[in-house]
Structure 1
Amino acid sequence: MIHRAATFLLTCTLLTGMHFTTDSLSAAEPATIVTFGDSTTATRGPLVVYSMILAKELPQQGVPVKVINAGIGGNTTQNAIARFEKDVLAKQPDLVVIQFGINDSAVDVWKDPPAKASRVSQKQYEANLRSLIDQLQQRDIKVILMTSNSLRWIPRIKKLYGKPPYNSDDPQGFNLFLKDYAQSVREIAREKQVPLVDIYTAFEEFDKHPDQSTDDLLLDGMHPNTAGQRKVADLLIPQIKKTLAASQK
């Protein structure tokens, strides 16, 4: 009888604890989220970008948030390091979503003379990402890493970048270096034990289904369109909810 009573009390205690954890997100002060990236993160005319979707839909799902979009077109992780204090740390975020890679990996073959290497070497890119994560973790700020979306040729991009080492005849030719930078993000996420949202893989998996292609998710071969931004948000929202819930424990 005593054993049953003790078991009952323990079960009630556990259930009460679970209930508190679930409710704590909606009862808490809004969490500040900074989306930190390049032009695929930045606002773009009338396009509803993923940060706007987060700001609208997370509160509707019981997760009050303030979302700050810190995306700037053309940025590499070198730029990210330079503006990190002002654009991220000064905002006192609870969570930072980091997505860079397209500009870092680009080889500017359109220049005169043509560039022969990526704007930021893969080794330096990895070091920059580690530095950003280390600074956040030292401050107990949660981090989510995202790979960049994959790319596709369109005539304007082919004119600029359709030269060696890129292969303009290969549908995957513009991802020549970006795919390796995406792999670096995956490895760093494992190393630093931070959540990963693999946008690159999601866009490529989308391409494998009949009657659809990655082009359907892109405005211009590079930037996610409405459908692409929706896909990013749909992948990110569950991970944000999970990450913020874990921080309440």
Structure 2
Amino acid sequence: MSAIQSERILFIGDSITEGYRSEREHHSNQLGYGYVSFIYALLQATYPSKHYKVSNKGIGGNTIRDLQKRWQRDVLSVKPDLLFIMIGINDVWRQFDQPSTISEHVYPDEFIETYRHLVQQSSAKKIFLLSPFYIQSEKGDPMRKMMDHYGTLTKSVAQSCNISFIDLQKQTFDPLMQGLDDIEIAQDRIHPSSVGHMAIARTILTHLDYKWDN
């Protein structure tokens, strides 16, 4: 069965996934205004006979540590068919915006070990790990270099667990930055504009073999 036929799809991560969603039960904005809502809308508009149950479990400011604390409640208890995880941006960012607060820093060894443990607990039929990213075209920038490193760590977790990896930095944002200024994609280089969110949605759907000509 094609992955796109799966009905229960869960996205978990930080503020990029959250997309200003409401946590109020039955609120109309439970999917937020970002890539999760775009994916749901495109899937449902293209395959109206399917009834996709899409869940957004993104929470702003989260690191891999925060995901670990809520994994049972937000992932294991939901039992999704497809699970998408995007984490790592804040694990890197805290090392730059809070350099003296060492207790908030998540270093590579902890990142990999925690990530692998979370993935191994999940019973989802298919799991996708999405790389963290930084909207900075200068690859020598210190934060861009560290973000790329955490993307490589994410890829290593996916490979060791034999699951799918989507490199949003290389597949989505690096090509986008060739035609658009960095700030057109994300003014703070982290939180994408609607163009950036649509680019993420497009990349994910392509990995699901979404038929754009339907």
Which band: TM-score by shorter chain? 0.7 to 0.9
Larger radius of gyration: 1
Q: How does 1:201-220 map to 2 (within 5 A)?
A: 201=170, 202-207=172-177, 209=178, 211-220=179-188
Aligned Cα root-mean-square deviation (Å): 2.8
1:70 aligns with 2:57: yes
SS of residue paired to 1:91: coil
- 1:97 and 1:103 map into 2 onto residues whose CA distance is 17
Report if the CA contact (8 A) 1:152-1:171 is conserved: no
Structure 2 length-normalised TM: 0.80
**Which of residues 28, 33, 54 is equivalent to 2:9?**
33
- 1:174 and 1:205 map into 2 onto residues whose CA distance is 19
- 2:35 and 2:139 map into 1 onto residues whose CA distance is 29
**Structure 2, unpaired ranges of 5+:** 22-28
Report if the CA contact (8 A) 1:146-1:197 is conserved: yes
- What's the CA shift for 1:110? 5.0
SS of residue paired to 2:196: helix
Per-residue CA distance 1:129-155 (angstroms, 9 max, x = gap) = 11111011xx253201100122349xx
- What's the CA shift for 1:127? 0.9
**Which of residues 161, 165, 189 is equivalent to 1:196?**
165
SS of residue paired to 1:40: helix
**Which of residues 66, 76, 83 is equivalent to 1:96?**
83
- 1:170 and 1:235 map into 2 onto residues whose CA distance is 21
Cα distance change, pair 214–110 in 1 and its aligned pair in 2 (3 A): closer
Report if the CA contact (8 A) 1:109-1:116 is conserved: no
Number of residues of Structure 1 aligned to a counterpart in Structure 2: 197
Percent same amino acid at aligned positions?
Answer: 22
Report if the CA contact (8 A) 2:82-2:124 is conserved: no
**Structure 1, unpaired ranges of 5+:** 1-20, 154-168, 243-249
Structure 1 length-normalised TM: 0.70
What letter matches 2:19 in structure 1? T
SS of residue paired to 1:176: helix
SS of residue paired to 1:120: coil
- 1:170 and 1:56 map into 2 onto residues whose CA distance is 34
**Which of residues 201, 205, 214 is equivalent to 1:237?**
205
Q: Provide the residue aligned with 1:53 in structure 2.
A: 38
Report if the CA contact (8 A) 1:203-1:214 is conserved: no
Cα distance change, pair 192–101 in 1 and its aligned pair in 2 (3 A): same
- 1:132 and 1:99 map into 2 onto residues whose CA distance is 13
- What's the CA shift for 1:182? 0.5
- 2:175 and 2:197 map into 1 onto residues whose CA distance is 16
- What's the CA shift for 1:172? 2.5
SS of residue paired to 2:60: coil
Per-residue CA distance 1:148-205 (angstroms, 9 max, x = gap) = 122349xxxxxxxxxxxxxxx9872332321110111122222222111111112123
- What's the CA shift for 1:224? 1.1
Between 47-56 and 220-229, report the one with greater CA deviation. Answer: 47-56
Report if the CA contact (8 A) 1:126-1:188 is conserved: yes
